[in-house]
Amino acid sequence: MDIALIRTFLEVAANGSFAGASDRLFVTQSAVSLRIARLEASLGRALFTRSKAGAELTDAGRHFESYALSLLRTWEEARQQIAVPEGFTTSLSVGAQYSLWARLGFGWLDRFRAMRPDVNLRAELGMPDRLTRYLIEGVIQMGLLYTPHLRPGLAVEKLMDEQLVLVASWPNPDMDLAGRYAFVDWGPEFVQAHALHLPDLTNPGLTLSLGAMSAEYIRQRGLAGYLPARYVARHLDRGELFLVPDAPSFPYPVWTVWREDLPADLRSAAEIALREVAAGLAVEQDQVMTRLEAISEETPTALGSDWSGGGQADEQE
């Protein structure tokens, strides 16, 4: 069986259109159509009903979908295990969104390698949809995401809460940020809570859907914006960014997504390493929050009671 046909089938099924699948696979729409036609010819059944609205799975297509996922998982497992370099006993592939690699992901890699030097590791970067697809297909076995998508065969666990804090690139800032504020889009829940509690900073004319990558732009352009406390801790220590007194903070959950068929010993070691790194980051984050409280006239509002977060940001890579 041609694995490219299987991947194409699953992309069309996930997107509900041939055009969407072609964009995700970086091939032409005609190539997608040809691959599906070849697969349907091999199976002797139509897998999709085509219409102007898109492509919908037929009964045969829905029945075949579980087999397609199983075939792809088996292929990925075989590919990864056969490719294990000499000197290692097994492999583990992990993925994370950009903002989660710098402190959490890289710290986890160091800790896990020290615990399990026999494991060959592979790291991936991606947006939530891409990482979820990789998890389903077996390309990665563990993911760190702000936006978890629960799917059959995957287990989701909350790892920690980020705190998004307002920082500025100049000393002694206050809440008068007119003309100097960049709206960092952390997802629908953040947008809604931000509009409710900070209406004067809504629609500043500059929106950055770049996650923690926004820190460098904000710092270099003399702007202010909301960023993760643990991410900006070093910038604060260096005097490159400064906390804005009396600004509310926003909780932002980080989730771990596991493939349920990950061997128990690998998952256990990975969980231990993650918890240890997350605990260290929590200390840094608490220090930042203590600094914010110390420079504020009143205890800054932590908007956890009326905004649950939920990790809905689709940050850019």
Whether this prediction's pTM lies above 0.75 is answered by: no
pLDDT at 57: 93
pLDDT at 26: 83
pLDDT at 225: 97
Cα–Cα distance measured from residue 94 to residue 79, given in angstroms and rounded to the nearest whole number = 15
Ranges under pLDDT 50 in the chain: 305-317
Output the six-digit token pair for 262.
Answer: 């990950």
Phi (first) and psi of residue 133, to 5 degrees: -65, -40
What are 11-42's pLDDT values in tens digits?
A: 899 889 998 888 878 889 999 999 999 999 98
pLDDT at 305: 41
pLDDT at 303: 63
pLDDT at 176: 92
